[in-house]
Structure 1
Amino acid sequence: MNKNLHDTQFFQTVQENKMDVDQVLDLVYTALSEKGYNPVNQIVGYVMSGDPTYITSHKNARSLIMKVERDDILELLLSYYIRHKIDRH
């Protein structure tokens, strides 16, 4: 009997390059602008509905935005707004 069959085996997975939410939004915004869409309206539509068709597939933007959680997008945008608008007063 081969003793290796009783040993714990470890597998290492290759992890995809994980992008920050702000990097994804920057790339998606650029892709939407290049295709002539209103990026703010399209991103809001996606965040509110979860429907990825709001985002163009140009420059792989649709695939990129689906790799981040919509909650994380909303949290980033809201925290940015609070830091730059509300905390100034």
Structure 2
Amino acid sequence: MSLADFIGMPDGAGPVSPGIHRPPVLRLQNITKTFGGAKALCGVSLTVKAGSVHGLLGRNGSGKSTLVKILAGFHEPDEGGGTPLQR
């Protein structure tokens, strides 16, 4: 199964097709998460459109795993919100 099939993109709407509107499949706005007194995420926003590929990079302790756990529903954000992953 191709990525396009997985996320339900129409044929020919690959990442290099100009002029085709791709709606967001994920949108997060102002996500904040704290654990005790430690702020793991502060005001994180992210929009991912159909057919795009993203990487999540950062130093140790920068909140990468926390963000992924919020996306997966393992943690709830303290503030902010967004649209869930869509298929």
Same fold (TM over 0.5): no
Give the structure with higher Rg (CA): 1
Higher relative contact order (CA 8 A, sep 6+): 2
Which structure features the higher share of strand residues?
Answer: 2
TM-score, normalised to structure 1's length? 0.26
TM-score, normalised to structure 2's length? 0.26
Which structure features the higher share of helix residues?
Answer: 1
